Amino acid sequence: MIIVFKPGAAQEAKLKVRAKLENQGFQIHESNGLNVTLYGIVGDTSAFDMRTLISDDCIEKIMRVQEPFKRANRAFHPEDSVIDVAGVPIGGRKIQVIAGPCSVESVEQVTSVAQSVKLGGASLLRGGAFKPRTSPYSFQGLKELGLDYLKAAREETGLPIVTEIMSADKIERFVEDVDLIQVGARNMQNFELLKELGKTRTPILLKRGLSATIEEWIMSAEYIMAGGNENVILCERGIRTFETYTRNTLDLSAIPAVKKLSHLPVVVDPSHAAGLWWMVEPLAKAAVAVGADGLLIEVHNDPEHALCDGAQSLKPERFARLMGELKGIAQIVGREL
């Protein structure tokens, strides 16, 4: 349920309404715009008699929210959210690019790539320390040592780091060391992990599940936000369809759809969507054109010998060229990069 207050409503009157609702056991999500204040009411309002509030002349209108997600709902928060990741704003006018290797292989490798992507214009460094792989015989990442290497690359370049968490028992280490914690597609509905991440205040990059609907994806964000952590960024990385030519099918229609339903920023990962390096560039351009707030692009200094996903990784020089081309597209759609 949404309560819209009249422009200029007195703070004392709004607080009385808040107290009345909290006494009924509801949680209040307050959103303040330039002229209007909204109260998003979280809880079972089906039996709530709205007539108890209508008499308050400070209220403009009361609306019921049909969607199951509340805190992530644009009705609760009409303005786009901007999430601060170690001083880098994700959302708003500027499009941010996260770039780096699929897997951290050595401190020299990840630092070299970090220097290259920073020179190319990236704002954050990605790198996998813990790797979820389909085969148990594939490279699983350097784990804690990989985190140490990412920290060294951050110290060398100043780029905030983004890496994937696999289980709740690593949360304490991630909160201490990682600037943006990634929840991978396979863990999108690992609800116990999401609940624990909701207890932190570290920004979360939530990837869309392999076959998740848009509503299921946003509901997973709701799990994190319901715990108190509203620093959530959504990431479209392609979904599984009957097509086998590409690794996944990038759902570009999800970006405007999510932006209509939710206030959360949306980042696009064209690398995992295509699985082919030569498709990353056109898909990245299309993502910017349809309104993505950021891109997640895999870059490797030697893709032919990468331990993981070399086929979808750009070389640093191609990444730098792509960044130059993306600036023109961003300008056309009223953004900057």
pLDDT band (50, 70, 90) for residue 324: very high
- Say yes or no: 263 and 184 in one domain: yes
117 lies in some domain: yes
Q: Are residues 97 and 236 both part of a single domain?
A: yes
On the question of pLDDT at 278 being above 70, the answer is: yes
Q: What is the spatial distance between Cα 275 and Cα 101, in angstroms, rounded to a whole number? A: 14
- For residues 18 and 137, membership in a common domain is answered with no
Which of 29, 63, 97 is a domain's end point?
A: 63
Q: Please tell me the predicted confidence (pLDDT) of residue 55.
A: 63
Residues spanned by the domain of 52 = 2-63
Quote the number of domains for the chain. 2
Give yes or no for residue 215 having a pLDDT over 70: yes
- Is the pLDDT at 3 greater than 90? The verdict is no
pLDDT at 54: 64
Residue at a domain's end among 32, 63, 94: 63
pLDDT for res 201: 96
pTM above 0.75, yes or no: yes
Shared-domain flag, residues 20 and 101: no
Instruction: State how beta strands 232-236 and 266-268 pair.
Output: parallel
pLDDT at 64: 78
24 pLDDT band, cuts 50/70/90, is: confident
Q: Would you say residue 271 lies in a domain? A: yes
Which tens digits make up the pLDDT trace of 34-85? 777 888 888 777 667 777 776 677 888 887 777 889 899 998 888 999 999 9
Whether 76 is in a domain gets the answer no
In a domain, 140, yes or no: yes
Categorize the per-residue pLDDT at 170 as very low, low, confident or very high, splitting at 50, 70 and 90: very high
10 falls within a domain? yes
33 plus 155 within the same structural domain: no
In a domain, 73, yes or no: no
pLDDT, position 310: 82
Question: How far apart are alpha carbons 175 and 203 in whole angstroms?
Answer: 9
Copy the structure tokens of residue 267.
Answer: 């980042």
Q: Does the pLDDT of residue 149 top 90, yes or no?
A: yes
Both 160 and 18 in one domain: the answer is: no
Same domain, 52 and 181: no
* Domain presence at residue 254: yes
Same domain, 229 and 194: yes
Same domain, yes or no, for 56 and 204?
Answer: no
User: Same domain for 12 and 155?
Assistant: no
Task: Confirm whether 185 is domain-assigned.
Answer: yes
On whether both 49 and 186 belong to a single domain, the answer is: no
Give the CATH number, domain containing residue 256.
3.20.20.70
User: Do 325 and 260 fall into the same domain?
Assistant: yes
CATH of the domain at 25: 3.30.70.1140
